[in-house]
Structure 1
């Protein structure tokens, strides 16, 4: 059995159209080192570029998702451009272009702090184990959350609910995360990965061009308002209607069989 790098590692594999990305430093609560941050960006970029990957699944080894950044190792790089995302790579926090265009499901468990929350909020849906403990505790360390929590927690939970935890760093449980819309499904501890994989495989069975168009249009609405998304409806649908996937979708409906989409 190979020994885990003390600075951690990001694991990747392709499984039936699902690009699985694993956080692997369980002995240190999966605390992120600079090496892991860069590997995570590289993994997201590989996912985006892999033609056979229809959907991504982010998970963590061990009993905890992540305690966040390993500050002694990461602090010297904070505020600089070389911390997380290489030039032209995908930002795992989905805050800067080029943006991820493919769906991503996150499975979280145990301690899910700071960057862990930001990574799951940047995913398209989250499956959480009932033993999750969440905290966006940057203010307790004299810094600010810069992975998207100040944006997405407010979007999902509303100003007061977000500030209740952003400004105190207090821990909250999975029931609160579910109520705020931070997570979509809750499982027993240990069941989060299987449920996330079930959702990922369901997504992988859908039409890839339509999935990408749906994500892009939803992002357009969030960033530029509902009318911008509405104005995009017709042009996007016209493009999709020329695809082989639409023909396959209609044929599968007529023939009463599962569709076999190719992304063309």
Structure 2
């Protein structure tokens, strides 16, 4: 396990094999996001995307709370005529609402307070685990703004129109059981176990054939963004490409010999 974080970093980075651990680290502010945290998070996503040795991301938060949302005292004055500029060169918008989509999967684990951009990070991720202590809130309308990190797009699609509008339009809070009921999170675990379970799932994803994982993720995103016909057209060409990879040979050999495959990403 390689630690590349610093004590002053508002987003810590650590490598655990092929998984990049991305930790929100503004504990004294309940991990509320100021511009510096947003920029560091964007750079972390850029690193995940570019590094061929990284196969999955795992997003978590230090402290008792995932995030209190935006630090409006810092962010509010920075919203200009074109919105909020928060992605430095080399970064990727973590909410992926700027036209660039991650090619690698992200697992996320939350606990305690999880407001606004925290929910939107879940919606922009692929698998989510919540501690039973988690309390969620899409509260932008109570602050005079709208969700701008993807909730208006993804929340209704993921949990159904009325389930999403119930929380987006009222700004009310809801608990982990409700988040699981509507499908916002995939698992609820006792408080304190969310990190280990989330990392376990991220490592499980990273152990699979990375080219195949990325192809499956890409095709699913094509279906959502461009519709079923576009995804269907891509299926057979993707299959042919993957079938010719070394990982496909490794996977077939492991199947025939009943051993565990060790994929190389080629």
- Quick one: which of 201, 205, 208 aligns to 2:207? 205
Contact 2:34 2:71 in 1 (8 A): yes
Q: 3-state DSSP class of the match of 2:96?
A: coil
Structure 2 match to 1:258: 260
**CA deviation vs aligned residue, 1:61-107 (integer Å, no higher than 9, x gap):** 00000000000000112254553223553210122333211111000
Contact 2:18 2:53 in 1 (8 A): yes
Q: 3-state DSSP class of the match of 2:234?
A: helix
Contact 2:6 2:12 in 1 (8 A): no
- Summarize the alignment of residues 157-168 of structure 1 with structure 2, pairs less than 5 Å apart: 157-168=159-170
Contact 2:130 2:188 in 1 (8 A): yes
Contact 2:44 2:91 in 1 (8 A): no
Contact 1:89 1:98 in 2 (8 A): no
Structure 2 match to 1:57: 58
Distance 1:124 1:185 in 2: 12
Superposed displacement of residue 255, structure 1: 1.5
Contact 2:107 2:128 in 1 (8 A): yes
Deviating above 4 A after TM superposition, structure 1's stretches of 4 or more consecutive aligned residues are 2-5
- Quick one: which of 150, 158, 169 aligns to 1:156? 158
Q: 3-state DSSP class of the match of 1:128?
A: strand
Normalising by structure 1, we get a TM-score of 0.95
Structure 1 match to 2:121: 119
Contact 1:135 1:165 in 2 (8 A): yes
Structure 2 match to 1:232: 234
Where structure 1 has 5 or more consecutive residues not aligned to the other structure, the ranges are none
Distance 1:82 1:162 in 2: 24
Distance 1:188 1:114 in 2: 23
Structure 2 match to 1:92: 94
Cα distance, 1:89–1:160 mapped onto 2, change above 3 Å: same
Contact 2:120 2:151 in 1 (8 A): yes
Distance 1:70 1:165 in 2: 21
Where structure 2 has 5 or more consecutive residues not aligned to the other structure, the ranges are none
Structure 1 match to 2:220: 218
Structure 2 match to 1:135: 137
**CA deviation vs aligned residue, 1:130-186 (integer Å, no higher than 9, x gap):** 011000000111001000011111001222111111111000111111111110011
Structure 1 match to 2:149: 147
Cα distance, 1:4–1:27 mapped onto 2, change above 3 Å: farther
Q: 3-state DSSP class of the match of 2:216?
A: helix
Contact 1:115 1:147 in 2 (8 A): yes
Superposed displacement of residue 224, structure 1: 1.3
Superposed displacement of residue 216, structure 1: 0.4
Normalising by structure 2, we get a TM-score of 0.94
